[in-house]
Amino acid sequence: MSHVLVPSLFLTLSLVACGDTVAPAAPLHGAPVEALRAAAAKVNLGYTAYVSGSTIDVQTTPLGGVLLAGGGTDSDAGMRWLLAQGGARGTLKYGDVVVLRTSGTNSYNKYLLNFGANSVTSIVISSVAGASSEYVRNAITKAEVVFIAGGDQSTYVNLWTGTALQTAVNARVAAGYPVGGTSAGLAVLGPYVYAAFNASSVSSTVMANPYDASVTLTRALFTVPVLSNLITDSHFVVRDRMGRLATFLARLQQDGTATAPRGLGVDELSAMGVTAAGVGTVFGAGNGAYLLSVTSSATRVCTAGVPLTYTPVTTVRVPVGQSANLASWSVSGATPYTLSVSSGVLSSSKTTIY
């Protein structure tokens, strides 16, 4: 059930569509609607929060885990899985969800309420001050599920690093609550993050020069234990990102960030739900997920301005409906294949790189 704050009681951050409430700021008792609107236009707290559903804060017993979505249309099965990992209060009755983003509005609110979320708060962060606010911290602290929407991961890294938002999300994960992300939201969940500060890396470009300005890799924004030693990528097959993910692995080694890093690419329309024990099941449509790994002794020529040479990169595809164990980095019944980059050209031990 959506709830609406009495407009004469609060100075709101912005106006929203019917059925949502925007988070309140300072009280403005007795003020007419026109005055509230004028005052709201002058207020910029660095975030806008769209709240839908019950006003009652519920409690659940969480199962934890992480949903890794590859972008595009969300997988209903994957999102239902994420809600269930936050803990159920009965049949199709789940906890409170916080959706974090730096653009967009409240598109997830009705969608997740229809699946049984008790409430959904979508928070659009526009500044470091917003990410550091007490409102944002409190909302996350009460959430049974945190989900990071798609958008621009460079703004997530720039606006959220060192803030209350970052601390609160990490505290929820440490307490056993699940987190999820799609597209840019997926990109910031691993311990190694492709931040996309300058431009979106293109496979052919970065294999021709692994130190192209688009390759901007940073340390973790969030700490998700089941994703240790991992860098993620999205829209994987649709946007032909196998070459750039292999390049990211080479850079992590070359720069001394990781000895033997792993990569997880999730295709558009696909999502992998990973339990707290590390067992990941692929939902949705698309081409599923791809697990890449290298040893510390991989052959590597990774120098600025010189086409990349990098081999072997062991690869396993996890189709929709199948599972992988991220803890042991294995896929039951699947046959790994080998990728090689030679002077900037990617090849595969089978007929296709995917």
What type of residue sits at position 70?
G
Domain limits for position 147: 46-348
Q: Report yes or no on 16 lying in a domain.
A: no
Q: How many CB atoms lie within 10 A of CB 289?
A: 27
Q: Is the pLDDT of residue 25 over 80?
A: no
Closest to 193 (Cα-Cα) out of 134, 257, 271, 281: 257
List the CATH number of the domain containing 150: 3.40.50.880
Q: Report yes or no on 31 lying in a domain.
A: no
| pLDDT tens track for 269-328 | 999 999 999 999 999 999 999 999 999 999 999 999 999 999 999 999 999 999 999 999
- pTM score, two decimals? 0.90
Q: Is the pLDDT of residue 19 over 90?
A: no
pLDDT for the residue numbered 9 = 28
Q: Report yes or no on 339 lying in a domain.
A: yes
Q: Is the pLDDT of residue 69 over 70?
A: yes
Q: Report yes or no on 33 lying in a domain.
A: no
| pLDDT tens track for 182-225 | 999 999 999 999 999 999 999 999 999 999 999 999 999 999 99
pLDDT for the residue numbered 8 = 28
Confirm if 337 and 350 have CB atoms less than 8 A apart.
Answer: yes
Average pLDDT, the chain: 91
Q: Report yes or no on 344 lying in a domain.
A: yes
Q: How many CB atoms lie within 10 A of CB 138?
A: 13
pLDDT for the residue numbered 45 = 94
Q: Report yes or no on 110 lying in a domain.
A: yes
Q: What percent of the chain has pLDDT over 70?
A: 88
Q: What is the dihedral of CA 35, 38, 39, 42, to 10 degrees?
A: -170
pLDDT for the residue numbered 44 = 84
What are the structure tokens assigned to 275, written together?
Answer: 């339990």
pLDDT for the residue numbered 23 = 59
pLDDT for the residue numbered 15 = 33
| pLDDT tens track for 135-180 | 999 999 999 999 999 999 999 999 999 999 999 999 999 999 999 9
Q: Considering only 33-42, 168-177, 220-229, 249-258, which range has the smallest mean pLDDT?
A: 33-42
Give the list of residues 6+ apart from residue 158 with CB closer than 8 angstroms, or none: none
Q: Report yes or no on 6 lying in a domain.
A: no
Q: Report yes or no on 10 lying in a domain.
A: no
pLDDT for the residue numbered 33 = 44
Three-state secondary structure string covering the chain: CCCCCCCCCEEECCCCCCCCEECEEEECCCCCHHHHHHHHHHCCCCEEEEEEECCCCCCCCCCCCEEEECCCCCCHHHHHHHHHHCCEEECCEECEEEEEECCCCCHHHHHHHHCCCCEEEEEEECCHHHHCCHHHHHHHHCCCEEEECCCCHHHHHHHHCCCHHHHHHHHHHHCCCCEEEECHHHHCCCCEEECCCCCCCCHHHHHHCCCCCCCCEEECCCCCHHHCCEEEECCCCCCCCHHHHHHHHHHHHHCCCCCCCEEEEECCCEEEEECCCCEEEEEECCCCEEEEECCCCCEEECCCCCCCEEEEEEEEEECCCCEEECCCCECCCCCCEEEEEECCEEEECCCCCC
Q: How many domains does the chain have?
A: 1
Confirm if 124 and 152 have CB atoms less than 8 A apart.
Answer: no
pLDDT for the residue numbered 22 = 61
